Amino acid sequence: MMTEQIPTSLGEMIRAEIHRAGGLEFSRYMEHCLYHPQWGYYMQPRQRIGAQGDFFTSSSVHHLFGALIARQLFQMWQLLGEQPFTLVEQGAGEGHLALDILTALQQSAPACYARLCYQIIEISPDNRQRQAATLEPHADRVRWCCLEELEPFEGCFLSNELVDAFPVSLLEKKQGQLFQVYVVEKEGVLSEELRPATDEVKRHFQGLGVEPVEGNRAEVCLAVAPWMAQLAPRLRKGFMLTIDYGYPAAELYAPFRRDGTLMCYHRHQANDNPYQRIGEQDMTAHVDFTLLQQTGDRLGLRTLYFGEQYRFLIGLGFVEELMRLQAREPDEKRACALRMTLKNLIVPDGGMGETFKVLIQGKNVDAPALICARSIRDLPMPELI
């Protein structure tokens, strides 16, 4: 009798599954690479975010990002009648955003802080540990649970760079037909094979009303709709605030985007090869914001705001806060470093200002004027003379 060998690495485990199943659909491959319970990139003990990690997130750049978001959350709390407020953050990384939001509310809005429950949904045991350490000063406000255990709540569901980390399917359009990428092994090397796209993928694009054009490669995240369908009924009244890099579908699948948006990150180096450093590099794809909006519409989540991160932050007082922080910094070198750091949050090219988008959807909240929607024209300007 043949006994199956127990794999000792993610690569071995993936190869064994490829042989058993005759190939792995790409999203399944990506799921193993990122979330395999033992060897997945997000599941192992490892510094992922920040200078010593693989990538930066806005919340790891400066605490002002979280402090400005706290301002928007404070207004949401007021709009919901200053009642007990549950803030659910899914995919909280090392807990930086949570820390900055909680600290800002504690200092500037103690009544809101006192009524706040900060509920974290986090897939990675390593990140849960890191979050608990980071959030020690707010231990009595913070809870962890999984999405299935989340009780119906009033408040806000928040995520920053979560959806881009969901596994995606890879597609190619050839001779008028959509194909899906499967990972196979050829002569000992992981390679790709194109197979006709499933009906689910075809239905997805029919619903979206946009398709990748001939010769182009693109990604699709089929996990978004079921995820939102799980989440929406739990939000009785309130908001869903999603921050991530991405585009509306027409721009995401535009003809010029020939190779799609899938990227891998390792020690701050970007590459487009998902078949190297298996389980040792992050993999991500840009988010389809039309899909989030269309799915939300079906689930009673109405779009209240959609815009670039720079507009969102400026609406919340980025410029005024930058001036205040600068004024408090007597050392010109440090003031300059502060400007350079904060610039990353709003500059379009090479920064996080434009590709990053913010979507706010609301449920049972009418159409409130959110402060983040304050436009540049509304900013108080100093007198010229």
Ligand X SMILES: C[S@@+](CC[C@H](N)C(=O)[O-])C[C@H]1O[C@@H](n2cnc3c(N)ncnc32)[C@H](O)[C@@H]1O
Choice between 216 and 309, CB closer to ligand X: 309
- Our CB check for ligand X shows the closer of 76 and 88 to be 88
**Minimum gap (Å) between residue 76 Cβ and ligand X:** 18
Residue 123 as a binder of ligand X (CB under 6 A): the answer is yes
Residue 266 makes CB contacts below 8 A (sequence gap 6+) with: 54, 277, 280, 281, 282
286 touches ligand X (CB under 6 A): no
Instruction: Please say which residue, 125 or 215, places its beta carbon nearer to ligand X.
Output: 125
| CB 123 to ligand X: min, Å | 4
Q: How far is the CB of 38 from ligand X (least distance, A)?
A: 15
CB 154 within 8 A of CB 237: yes
Q: What is the DSSP string of 19-83?
A: HHHTSEEHHHHHHHHHH-TTT-TTTSS---BSTTSSB--HHHH-HHHHHHHHHHHHHHHHHTTS-
If you search the block for the tokens 């039309």, which residue do you land on? 290
Ranked by CB distance to ligand X, the top (closest) residue is 91
Size of the site for ligand X (CB under 6 A): 20
Please tell me whether residue 265 binds ligand X under the rule CB under 6 A.
Answer: no
- Distance (Å) of CA 311 to CA 65, 213, 346: 13, 31, 8
261: helix, strand or coil: coil
Report the nearest approach of ligand X to the CB of residue 333 (Å): 27
> With respect to ligand X, which residue has the nearer C-beta, 30 or 92?
92
Return d(Cα 170, Cα 153) in angstroms, integer.
35
Which stretch, 75-83, 115-123, 260-268, 314-322, contacts ligand X (CB under 6 A)? 115-123
Contact string 157-196 vs ligand X (x = CB under 6 A): ---xxx--x-------------------------------
**Binding-site member from 49, 64, 299, 304 for ligand X (CB under 6 A):** 49
Answer for the pair 41, 18: CB distance below 8 angstroms, yes or no: no
| Residue 177, token pair as written in the block | 């037909």
State the nearest-atom distance from the C-beta of 380 to ligand X, in Å.
Answer: 30
Q: Give min distance, CB of 208 to ligand X, in A.
A: 22
CA 361 to CA 370: how far, in whole Å? Answer: 11
Shortest reach from residue 272's CB to ligand X, in Å:
18
CA angle 219, 225, 228 (to 5 degrees): 130
Identify residues 51-110 at the interface with ligand X (CB under 6 A).
57, 59-60, 90-93, 96-97
Of 214, 199, 224, give the one whose Cα is nearest residue 288: 224
Among 42, 77, 157, 265, binds ligand X (CB under 6 A): 42
Other CB atoms within 10 Å distance of the CB of residue 291: 23
Asked if residues 352 and 104 have their Cβ atoms less than 8 Å apart, the reply is: no
Interacting residues toward ligand X by CB under 6 A: 42, 49, 57, 59-60, 90-93, 96-97, 121-124, 127, 160-162, 165
